[in-house]
Chains A and B, each alone.
Chain A
Amino acid sequence: MLNDKELDQKLDKLIIGESVEETDPLIDIAKDITALKKIKIKEDRFGELKDEFVSTASKIEESQKSQEAVQVITKPKKIYFMNLRRAAAAALVLLISSGTTAYAATGAMPDSQLYTVKRASETASIYLTPSFLKSGLEEKISKERIREIKYMLKKKNTITNEEIIKELMTDVKDYGKTISEEKNLKDQIKKLDTEFNSKFNRNSKSTEKKNNDFKLEEKIDKQNNSVGKNKNDSEGNSRKP
């Protein structure tokens, strides 16, 4: 019978498709399992899903290009001033072409595929707004973030949602610094922070429990491993549920 290191080496060969001339029963089982590689999604469904992915990727690429063009205009370097007209024209064309998508994305929430487009167009509008009008725009964006956090807080307590809200909270706090005179907005941010902490308190406990469970399992592994050197694999079965 092979030990775990020898088995691992044979499996590496098996995985890359090399033939393994071994009569060990574990290798036979491994061959049966590698046959599951034949499981595939239906081709037409794969095509549909890929189309969705590519169209989202294209939207992001488009909005990124328009953002880059905007950055080119706002850079106060001489060389860019020379080409200002050309760059402005390019930005305009890109903005108009991505305009339909950006318009559709205005009401998008963080769990929507169009959300990235919405955020990109927000960034672009910040670049385009003159500095004396910026505070008004930032306040408007903060209010939008607060609306999104409220929406996300109504959703289920998942790790994904927790991460999304955390990111939104950071964003809204950053904006909060620049619009500090708006007391009402600051109060709202504080209130949401408390709500977020109380909602996900339970989640952090479950993560802690998961970590503890895992540490316990690792401890058992180590113990079994040291016993296993003498008794081969017989105690491996004791971990079966």
Chain B
Amino acid sequence: MVSRYKVKRMQKKLDLKKVIEDAKRHDVEALSHLYDEFFDKIYRYIFIRVRSKEVAEDLSSQTFLRLLEKISDFTWRGSGFSAWLFRIANNLVIDWFRVNKEVSKEIEVEDEKASTEYSVITNESFKEVILALKTLTDNQQQVIILRLVSGLTCRETAEVLDLSEANVRTLQYRALTATREELKVKADA
């Protein structure tokens, strides 16, 4: 059976606010729609940061379980839902890095050898870009992933990272300049 949200989405009549209101009452269809809509974006965001398929799957699932727990506390303020959800994911990634400092180092070493962790990525140039992003500062990395890979607006990105919009713009400018330099150095080498 096609979900009522799917039909409305096809008709371009879907109102995210309405879906969230239903989800707040723990309506399974609404929650399932939010899962379909946001899972890939969250997965990509986590995967590029932790660089492990298994960890990304686990943390993405935990993000959505946290959504189930906390959605009733969410208050609709314009476009704040994406920022709210990515903030949950960001907190989980921070927790994971805190607990698994050693594990994350090991994964980084494996990355250099283009390990099987990248089996999900088939394109060689993806690996180069991900490794170039790794050389950025944590804030620069996050801004670039949230903006360009997860498709958040400047305002939403600022909300996730607790920064001003001007700060996000500066960080994204510097991040792109640094990534270009890094890729240039690699190409020359």
Asked if A221 and B149 sit within 8 Å, CB to CB, the answer is no
Asked if B180 and A57 sit within 8 Å, CB to CB, the answer is no
Q: How far is the CA of A228 from the CA of B169 in the complex (A)?
A: 13
Asked if B167 and A218 sit within 8 Å, CB to CB, the answer is yes
Which residues does chain B contribute within 8 Å of A7, judged by CB atoms?
A: 169, 172-173, 176
Asked if A38 and B28 sit within 8 Å, CB to CB, the answer is no
Which residues does chain A contribute within 8 Å of B130, judged by CB atoms?
A: 36
Asked if B126 and A29 sit within 8 Å, CB to CB, the answer is no
Which residues does chain A contribute within 8 Å of B153, judged by CB atoms?
A: 12
Asked if A54 and B172 sit within 8 Å, CB to CB, the answer is no
B133 part of interface (Cβ distance < 8 Å): yes
Asked if B174 and A36 sit within 8 Å, CB to CB, the answer is no
Which residues does chain B contribute within 8 Å of A40, judged by CB atoms?
A: 40, 43-44, 120
> Known: A12-B153, A53-B35. Contact between A32 and B125, CB under 8 A?
yes
Asked if B172 and A116 sit within 8 Å, CB to CB, the answer is no
Tally of B interface residues using CB under 8 Å: 64
B55 part of interface (Cβ distance < 8 Å): no
Chain A window 128-166, contacts with chain B (Cβ cutoff 8 Å), 1 for yes, 0 for no: 000000000000000000000000000010111000000
Asked if B121 and A49 sit within 8 Å, CB to CB, the answer is no
* A58-66, A100-108, A182-190 - the one binding chain B: A58-66
> Known: A39-B121, A64-B26. Contact between A236 and B173, CB under 8 A?
yes
Which residues does chain B contribute within 8 Å of A61, judged by CB atoms?
A: 26-28
Asked if B120 and A241 sit within 8 Å, CB to CB, the answer is no
Asked if A36 and B149 sit within 8 Å, CB to CB, the answer is yes
Q: Shortest distance in angstroms between A56's beta carbon and chain B's nearest beta carbon?
A: 6
Asked if B28 and A58 sit within 8 Å, CB to CB, the answer is yes
Q: How far is the CA of A38 from the CA of B43 in the complex (A)?
A: 11
Asked if B32 and A57 sit within 8 Å, CB to CB, the answer is yes
Chain A window 20-64, contacts with chain B (Cβ cutoff 8 Å), 1 for yes, 0 for no: 000001100110111111111110011001101110111011001
Residue in chain B with minimal CB distance to A159 = B95
A98 part of interface (Cβ distance < 8 Å): no
Asked if A53 and B170 sit within 8 Å, CB to CB, the answer is no
Asked if A45 and B173 sit within 8 Å, CB to CB, the answer is no
Asked if A29 and B180 sit within 8 Å, CB to CB, the answer is yes
Which residues does chain B contribute within 8 Å of A123, judged by CB atoms?
A: none
Q: Shortest distance in angstroms between A114's beta carbon and chain B's nearest beta carbon?
A: 11
Q: Shortest distance in angstroms between A155's beta carbon and chain B's nearest beta carbon?
A: 10
Which residues does chain B contribute within 8 Å of A26, judged by CB atoms?
A: 173, 176-177, 180
* B7-15, B75-83, B108-116, B140-148 - the one binding chain A: B140-148
Which residues does chain A contribute within 8 Å of B94, judged by CB atoms?
A: 159
Which residues does chain B contribute within 8 Å of A8, judged by CB atoms?
A: 154, 169, 172
Asked if B179 and A160 sit within 8 Å, CB to CB, the answer is no
Q: Which residue numbers of B lie inside 8 Å of A, CB to CB?
A: 25-28, 31-32, 35-36, 39-40, 43-44, 47-48, 56-57, 60-61, 64-65, 68-69, 91-92, 94-95, 98-99, 120-121, 123, 125-126, 129-130, 133, 135-137, 139-140, 144, 147-149, 151, 153-154, 163, 167, 169-174, 176-183
Q: Which residue numbers of A lie inside 8 Å of B, CB to CB?
A: 3-5, 7-8, 11-12, 14-16, 25-26, 29-30, 32-42, 45-46, 49-50, 52-54, 56-58, 60-61, 64, 113, 116, 156, 158-160, 217-218, 221, 224-225, 228, 233, 236-237, 239-241
- Can you list 16 contacts pairing A with B, beta carbon distance less than 8 Å? A7-B169, A8-B172, A15-B148, A32-B125, A37-B149, A39-B126, A41-B56, A41-B60, A53-B64, A56-B65, A160-B95, A225-B170, A236-B173, A239-B140, A241-B135, A241-B137
Closest 9 CB pairs of A and B: A236-B174, A4-B173, A4-B169, A26-B176, A33-B148, A61-B26, A233-B177, A236-B177, A158-B95
